[in-house]
Amino acid sequence: MLYIKNRVAGIVLVTDQSEVLYMNSKEKQLVMTLCGDKCDGCPQIFTDNTAESTKQVVVTDDFGNTIAMSKDQFRVLVKGSKEGKLDI
């Protein structure tokens, strides 16, 4: 998978078939930046209401990788976190 990360224009993620999965920051809204004590980059959570319903929440990591999920899937993640299931 090839990706290009550009802090000004947003994030472009391209697969081997050159399919653009995620385009620019005009379509997405930053929800939260997750920075720890010692990190060079910070994972971020975005929403994109213009994306397919199964890909409206996008989580990026410090290395340029992304995970896209539905808002319902994200709610399950948040609920599990509140219940302590993600405490590690």
What does pTM read for this prediction? Answer: 0.65
pLDDT at residue 68 tops 70: yes
Amino acid 46: pLDDT = 95
Amino acid 14: pLDDT = 35
What percent of the chain lies above the pLDDT cut of 70? Answer: 67
pLDDT tens-place string over residues 4-17? 343 333 444 333 33
């976190």: which residue's tokens? Answer: 81
CA distances from 36 to 44, 61, 68, 71, 87 (A): 12, 12, 22, 25, 15
Q: 27 pLDDT band (50/70/90 cuts)?
A: confident
